[in-house]
């Protein structure tokens, strides 16, 4: 009797606990608070893709993916709490969608040996895999974005920016200050006059900044914003009649909700993007297997939007890395360390993206031991207010690695020295 009771208790415990074979992908989301408008579509896209893979393909390599959502409110402390609360579940990779949380997690994931993927945000110099073994930021980073913007402007101006005035309007935070050094170095190389204007958090009041822009009339304004700063800046640009086609946001200032509050006045505003927006065949699958089946993370209204597509793209890259890890290690039940190997061996080709029903969604790139940042390509898109959609203006523009790479080396090596990290990738 005692044996039977013990066996029953053990069975109950196993049934109550997580299924051992699940592949766990935490989703550090923010569906509440001032930044929810950006956090919700990203999280919806992220979750829906895993649901699609489970429903349509039976999981990753036959093993179901399990997404654990944890609300951070875009708050760094809560983000760390979420990490601590979920890492014990067997988390394979973290994508926190916050530079602040990323900086706090870098030492933690390195100690816990769990990969961290910060796609287009976070610590730029984490591209150097020789120093940052557990951190990845493919397909592109902030400095790539700055360079892509300048390369686009070079194309617009017949390859010559000398004498042009370019102003960076930035969120007065570590995130907003990220591109300054790169843009300064690029100014030295291309001869444009570079100036900066800071906007304090959260950025609801920008009259002073736009009066300054009205007085100084720079040829171009590049914006590094997030949240309400974007909507106010676009409205104020329209108010002072700054030409929208000369106003370019980075890829965190180029979603639908950034432009729609300004209405028709936002027409012509440009933004970078690391993932092209299109009517991908994969959306039909999501509609059929996820939305119509009542399994969507949201109500399905975000499908196809900029940040939904980016969240889905982030999930796709995680799934592809997990598959690569399964192939490398010959097991479907992978560990975080195996996942890291998969991420480091990831190769995204056009053929593979087409096969997945999302042709051209991102640049082609491959990850290696020393390059955790991919190719760094980005496109420029323009808002068409009448049609209510973003239209891509360019193909993927490659950043100027001649300027960026030395900066990455310098910053990552300083980090390695400070933290006594020995370099990897020099086996050969």
Which two structure tokens, joined as six digits, stand for 99? 């530079």
DSSP code of 224?
E
Tokens 């590049």 belong to residue: 222
- Rounded CA separation 264/12 (Å): 60
Asked if 61 is part of the footprint of other proteins (rule: CB under 8 A), the reply reads no
- Rounded CA separation 330/272 (Å): 39
Asked if 417 is part of the footprint of other proteins (rule: CB under 8 A), the reply reads no
Rounded to a whole number of angstroms, the minimum distance from the CB of residue 18 to other proteins is 25
Asked if 4 is part of the footprint of other proteins (rule: CB under 8 A), the reply reads no
Rounded to an integer, what is the distance from CA 263 to the centroid of its chain?
Answer: 26
Rounded to a whole number of angstroms, the minimum distance from the CB of residue 202 to other proteins is 5
On whether the CB atoms of residues 24 and 290 are closer than 8 A, the answer is no
Strands 165-171 and 193-199 turn out to be parallel
**What part of residues 193-222 is at the interface with other proteins (CB under 8 A)?**
196-202, 204-205, 207-209, 211-212, 214-215
Q: Which of 61, 261, 359, 360 binds other proteins (CB under 8 A)?
A: 261
The window from 151-159, 253-261, 374-382, 400-408 that contacts other proteins (CB under 8 A) reads 253-261
Closer to other proteins by Cβ: residue 210 or 365: 210
Closer to other proteins by Cβ: residue 67 or 307: 307
Q: How far is CA 144 from CA 105, 154, 199, 405, in A?
A: 22, 15, 22, 10
Asked if 32 is part of the footprint of other proteins (rule: CB under 8 A), the reply reads yes
Q: Which of 68, 187, 240, 369 binds other proteins (CB under 8 A)?
A: 240
Asked if 34 is part of the footprint of other proteins (rule: CB under 8 A), the reply reads yes
Closer to other proteins by Cβ: residue 213 or 315: 213
Rounded to a whole number of angstroms, the minimum distance from the CB of residue 140 to other proteins is 26
The window from 97-105, 255-263, 271-279, 335-343 that contacts other proteins (CB under 8 A) reads 255-263
Rounded to a whole number of angstroms, the minimum distance from the CB of residue 257 to other proteins is 4
DSSP code of 142?
H
Closer to other proteins by Cβ: residue 257 or 329: 257
Q: Which of 243, 263, 388, 406 binds other proteins (CB under 8 A)?
A: 263
Closer to other proteins by Cβ: residue 235 or 405: 235
Asked if 246 is part of the footprint of other proteins (rule: CB under 8 A), the reply reads no
Asked if 183 is part of the footprint of other proteins (rule: CB under 8 A), the reply reads no
Tokens 């910060």 belong to residue: 118
Q: Which of 23, 24, 28, 40 binds other proteins (CB under 8 A)?
A: 40
**C-alpha torsion sign, points 221, 225, 227, 232:** negative
Length of the chain: 428
Asked if 295 is part of the footprint of other proteins (rule: CB under 8 A), the reply reads no
Rounded to a whole number of angstroms, the minimum distance from the CB of residue 236 to other proteins is 9
Beta strand segments in 182-330, E: 193-199, 220-224, 247-249, 270-273
Following DSSP, what letter does each residue of 47-84 receive, concatenated? HHHHHHHHHHHSSBTTB-EEEEEEE-TT-HHHHHHHHH
Asked if 181 is part of the footprint of other proteins (rule: CB under 8 A), the reply reads no
Q: How far is CA 74 from CA 40, 68, 77, 142, 199, in A?
A: 11, 17, 9, 19, 19
Return the closest-CA partner of residue 213 out of 168, 172, 253, 173.
168
Q: How far is CA 15 from CA 18, 334, 335, 352, in A?
A: 8, 21, 21, 38
Q: Which of 37, 135, 282, 315 binds other proteins (CB under 8 A)?
A: 37
Return the closest-CA partner of residue 189 out of 166, 160, 168, 167.
160
Q: Write out the residues near other proteins by the rule CB under 8 A.
A: 31-37, 40, 172, 196-202, 204-205, 207-209, 211-212, 214-215, 227-228, 231-232, 235, 238-241, 257, 260-261, 263, 265, 299
């Amino acid at each position: 009797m005692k044996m039977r009771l013990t066996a029953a208790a053990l069975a109950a415990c196993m049934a109550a606990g997580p299924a051992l074979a699940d592949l766990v992908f935490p989703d550090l989301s923010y569906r509440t608070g001032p930044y929810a408008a950006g956090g919700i579509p990203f999280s919806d896209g992220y979750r829906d893709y895993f649901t699609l893979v489970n429903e349509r393909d039976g999981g990753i390599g036959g093993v179901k993916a399990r997404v654990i959502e944890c609300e951070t409110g875009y708050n760094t402390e809560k983000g760390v709490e979420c990490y601590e609360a979920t890492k014990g579940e067997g988390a394979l990779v973290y994508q926190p969608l916050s530079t602040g949380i990323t900086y706090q997690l870098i030492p933690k994931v390195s100690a816990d040996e769990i990969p961290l993927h910060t796609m287009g945000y976070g610590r730029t110099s984490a591209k150097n895999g020789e120093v940052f073994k557990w951190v990845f930021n493919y397909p592109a980073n902030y400095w790539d974005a700055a360079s892509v913007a300048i390369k686009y402007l070079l194309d617009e101006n017949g390859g010559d920016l000398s004498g042009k005035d370019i102003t960076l309007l930035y969120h007065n935070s570590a995130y907003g200050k990220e591109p300054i050094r790169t843009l300064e170095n690029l100014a030295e190389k291309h001869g444009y006059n570079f100036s900066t204007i800071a906007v304090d958090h959260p950025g609801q009041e920008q009259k002073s900044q736009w009066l300054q822009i009205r007085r100084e009339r720079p040829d171009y304004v590049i914006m590094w914003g997030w949240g309400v700063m974007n909507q106010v800046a676009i409205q104020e640009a329209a108010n002072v009649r700054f030409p929208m086609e000369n106003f370019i946001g980075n890829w965190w200032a180029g979603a639908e909700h950034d432009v729609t509050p300004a209405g028709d006045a936002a027409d012509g505003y440009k933004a970078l993007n690391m993932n092209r927006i299109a009517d991908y065949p994969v959306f039909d699958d999501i509609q059929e297997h996820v939305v119509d089946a009542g399994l969507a993370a949201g109500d399905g209204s975000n499908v196809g939007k900029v940040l939904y597509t980016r969240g889905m793209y982030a999930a796709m890259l995680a799934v592809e890395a997990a598959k690569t890890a399964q192939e490398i290690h010959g097991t479907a039940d992978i560990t975080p360390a195996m996942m890291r190997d998969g991420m480091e061996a990831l190769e995204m080709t056009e053929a593979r993206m087409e096969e997945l029903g999302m042709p051209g969604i991102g640049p082609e790139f491959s990850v290696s031991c020393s390059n955790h940042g991919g190719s760094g390509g980005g496109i420029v898109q323009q808002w068409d207010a009448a049609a209510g959609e973003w239209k891509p203006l360019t193909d993927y523009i490659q950043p100027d690695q001649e300027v960026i790479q030395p900066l990455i080396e310098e910053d990552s090596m300083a980090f390695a020295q400070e933290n006594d990290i020995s370099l990897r990738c020099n086996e050969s």
